[in-house]
Amino acid sequence: MSYTTEIKQEIAARDLEKHCQKAQLSALIQLTSSLKIARGSFGIVIRSESVTAARRAMFLLKELYKVDTKLEIARKTNLKKNNVYTIEVEKEGKEILEDLGLYSSRGLEIHPGHDIVAKNCCASSYLGGAFLAYGSCNDPQNPSYHLEIALNELDYANYIVKLISRFDMQAKIAKRRSRYVVYLKKADYVSNFLALIGAHDAMMRFEDERIGRDLKNSLSRIDNCEIANEVKTIRAAQKQIEYLQTVIDSGAYDKLNERLKNVVDIRMKYQDHSLSELCEAYQKAYGDAISKSGMKHRLNKLEAIAKSLEE
């Protein structure tokens, strides 16, 4: 089962108040239906390749309007050969559309009236219905976060973007062939949207994968940083040992003052120590505290002596 299917099944399984059921059905019918006019009466024909969306639409029609529905299942002839589920309501189509805010004296509406999505709970149910109809989401194992709803009309896509923005999420629109895709790419937005439409289990799975990936990446960055620092320390130590050996081999060591001799001795003894570790070893050996800058200053002085000897 795909991650998108899991999300849709969770949305469809929600118990909603009647006003939220109307909002969800309004989105499903807006996106998946067409009108059928016969013998002066309005019928509604819903077509969907999602069995979950089709079942939810049938359930809501019967729950809200007690209407008889006719279901047909056909297989597409294209390469995917998906099933197409057709639900037909032969009567009372006009009354249903009017109640769902999709039909008025002006005719069919581009989007439902304000009353349908006035409450935030209804707006979230409406967005859940839109996702049921034509939504998809990348599996959380995919590091490319992406959730989208594919729509036919630009005006309607803008309406969905505006509805999402009510919940402090910024959706964008992209043109894909003949469709307009409303999408979210930020991980926080995808997670918040899933929670908003009631897909809480899917959201938890998304967060588990996301947190695990972020933690792994953080640990990897820490490891890389530590390795880089260690390599840097080793290279610095090797360079210091080389010029200290020059000082020793030339006989200049005997002419150094006691503090510089102590630095030469401690560095040659602890050749893999970092500067901090070298300061600690120095204090233990000679009972004299020295800072990192003080140690660095003395090593720089010895380096300058070694260079002058080489010249």
Summarize pLDDT for 7-24 with one digit per residue, the tens: 999 999 999 999 999 999
Instruction: Please report the pLDDT score of residue 308 as a whole number.
Output: 81
What's the mean pLDDT in 299-308? 84
Whether the predicted pLDDT of 46 surpasses 80: yes
Instruction: Please report the pLDDT score of residue 217 as a whole number.
Output: 65
Report which of residues 296 and 164 the model is more confident about.
164
For residues 206 and 197, the answer to whether their CB atoms sit within 8 Å is no
Q: In what order do the strands lie in the sheet with 172-176?
A: 135-137, 147-151, 179-184, 172-176
Instruction: Please report the pLDDT score of residue 274 as a whole number.
Output: 81
For residues 149 and 135, the answer to whether their CB atoms sit within 8 Å is yes
Range with the poorest average pLDDT among 38-47, 58-67, 205-214, 223-232: 223-232
For residues 85-103, b (16+ Cβ closer than 10 Å) or e, as one string? bebbbbebbeebbebbbbb
Quote the tokens at residue 56. 């939810």
Percent of the chain with pLDDT over 90: 39
Domain borders along the chain are 3-198, 221-310
Amino acid at 284: K
Whether the predicted pLDDT of 224 surpasses 70: no
Whether the predicted pLDDT of 39 surpasses 70: no
Grade residue 220 by pLDDT with cuts at 50, 70 and 90. low
For residues 55 and 66, the answer to whether their CB atoms sit within 8 Å is no
Grade residue 1 by pLDDT with cuts at 50, 70 and 90. confident
CATH architecture for residues 3-198: Roll (3.10)
- The span from the CA of 66 to the CA of 59, in Å, is 10
Summarize pLDDT for 230-276 with one digit per residue, the tens: 667 777 778 888 878 887 888 888 888 888 888 888 888 888 788 88
Summarize pLDDT for 145-154 with one digit per residue, the tens: 899 999 999 9
For residues 179-203, b (16+ Cβ closer than 10 Å) or e, as one string? ebbbbbeebebbbbbbbbbbbeebb
Nearest CA to 42 among 103, 100, 129? Answer: 103
Report which of residues 143 and 164 the model is more confident about.
164
Instruction: Please report the pLDDT score of residue 222 as a whole number.
Output: 58
**Beta bridge pairs of residue 303:** none
What's the mean pLDDT in 90-95? 82
What's the mean pLDDT in 180-188? 93
Percent of the chain with pLDDT over 70: 91
7 burial class (0-12, 13-18, 19+ CB within 10 angstroms)? Answer: buried
Whether the predicted pLDDT of 48 surpasses 70: yes
114 burial class (0-12, 13-18, 19+ CB within 10 angstroms)? Answer: exposed
- The span from the CA of 286 to the CA of 262, in Å, is 8
Instruction: Please report the pLDDT score of residue 111 as a whole number.
Output: 86
For residues 149 and 134, the answer to whether their CB atoms sit within 8 Å is yes
Instruction: Please report the pLDDT score of residue 40 as a whole number.
Output: 66
Instruction: Please report the pLDDT score of residue 109 as a whole number.
Output: 84
Grade residue 227 by pLDDT with cuts at 50, 70 and 90. low
For residues 54 and 31, the answer to whether their CB atoms sit within 8 Å is no
What's the mean pLDDT in 171-188? 93
Q: In what order do the strands lie in the sheet with 70-75?
A: 33-38, 41-48, 83-89, 70-75
Range with the poorest average pLDDT among 102-111, 153-162, 168-177: 102-111
For residues 119-136, b (16+ Cβ closer than 10 Å) or e, as one string? eeebbbbbbbbbbbbbbb
